[in-house]
Chain A
């Protein structure tokens, strides 16, 4: 027998019918005017999202703690064999290190120059990744910063390594960023060596692909792909990845390339959200007028 415990004993069958009718009407409104309904739901959902943010951040802290504990203790099994292997590796690397030190000194000087030139180019806010999309159907990150920190929809999300994705939803204290590997995100890109443009988009399998590369482009395996700055949210020149395979068929008008992203999307813990970008002519373009505290960084 199925036991029936009534949740709302004060609500009679008439009240329930009325509720169901109102609900059906609400669903019809959502179906008929999805855009307007989206705006209404967004404003209704903000307080709810703020309430949910409290257990969310607590669980994210717990998740982080468990992962740290796992890494520190349980993952140390087999560390003895690893230690012997690493000692041999250290001897080999010490030789290489001497050679690299010289190169590093030169590189540091160049990096300082580059940093000096680019310092303050992008206005960013650092956010911690507190969760992943709440369903399997999208590849997205949940960030612990939201509108209160100046984050708005369509802003770009990066790490010092390269492009991560784009903000698609915000609430007061949290936001959702769709990863570049999701098929619903498209960013205009450029093959750095050949300067040929194309559209970088995720695939259903979770890989990254650059489409619409001109048919005569000499793009080849190993070429770096950067953002072209033509779409909102990202300035020109942010690293996306490296070409691993070029596809060219006689039936297609364009070439396409598989890209190995520079960012490891499965291990992201902190990201930077681009609040404003500066075009190459030096005139700063504010994406949004912001009055929240942010920090400036000089990312490549």
Chain B
């Protein structure tokens, strides 16, 4: 069941992110669903599964985005892994508890992408990416992660005893 769920996630999330989500992006900013998924999986299922799912989602995303072929893969795998490690030390694991870690992971990932996508440009142009893309996306990612976490707690495999 769980393998099927993860396979579905890997097969559907990247196409969804690149097609249907484009029509649902306020101010042209879309949440990075693959990053959210890697974080949520790591948060709930542990660092190893977070890493594996993040790795596959990131690679899929790399194949359908303009950047380097390994950047998403490494970032998402790292976030999934770190989320798993972080969850071990959290006292509260309510759906809302994921908001702050998700925002931090998104900012970290955003900085990596901001720097790599603005190579050779002036510092002014790099800094413009913070208010325009990085921070709105981080908040967006945090909100989506809270929703995903709530859904997972309510309807996830464990809640349904699968």
Contact = CB atoms under 8 A, between A and B. Distances in A.
A171 B62 CA distance: 12
Contact of B74 (A8, A27, A184): A27
Interface string B1-20: 01100100001101111111
Contacts of A203: 125
Nearest to A132: B22
B121 A7 contact: no
6 contacts: A3-B44, A34-B70, A51-B11, A59-B15, A132-B18, A136-B29
Contacts of A19: 48
Q: Which 5 A-B pairs have the closest CB atoms?
A: A131-B18, A138-B66, A56-B15, A204-B125, A140-B66
Contacts of B6: 7
A262 interface: no
Contacts of A55: 11-12, 15
Q: Chain A CB within 10 Å — which of B62, B87, B128 has the most? A: B62
B115 to A, nearest CB: 10
Q: Chain B CB within 10 Å — which of A8, A19, A55, A205 has the most? A: A55
Interface in B36-54: 43-46, 48-49, 51-52
Interface in A18-52: 19-20, 23, 27, 30, 34, 37-38, 41-42, 45, 48-49, 51-52
A130 B15 CA distance: 10
Nearest to A133: B65
A204 B125 CA distance: 6
A77 B2 CA distance: 44
B108 interface: no
Contacts of A132: 18-19, 22
A184 B113 CA distance: 13
Interface of A: 1-5, 7-8, 16, 19-20, 23, 27, 30, 34, 37-38, 41-42, 45, 48-49, 51-52, 55-56, 58-60, 62-63, 66-67, 130-140, 142, 168-169, 171, 174, 176, 178, 182-184, 203-205
Contacts of A171: 63
Contacts of A38: 68-70
A191 to B, nearest CB: 24
A134 B61 contact: yes
Given A204-B125, A204-B128, A135 B20 contact: no
Nearest to B60: A52
B23 to A, nearest CB: 7
B66 A59 contact: no
B15 A7 contact: no
Given A5-B158, A132-B18, A137-B113, 12 more contacts: A4-B46, A7-B3, A7-B49, A20-B48, A34-B70, A51-B11, A52-B15, A55-B15, A130-B19, A135-B17, A139-B66, A204-B126
A178 B69 CA distance: 15
Q: Chain A CB within 10 Å — which of B18, B68, B114 has the most? A: B18
Nearest to A139: B66
B20 A62 contact: yes
Contacts of A182: 66
Contact of A184 (B2, B18, B34, B117): B117
Contact of B19 (A2, A59, A140): A59
Contact of B18 (A2, A56, A183): A56
A138 B66 CA distance: 6
Nearest to A44: B59
A60 B64 CA distance: 13
A289 B70 CA distance: 29
A136 B133 contact: yes
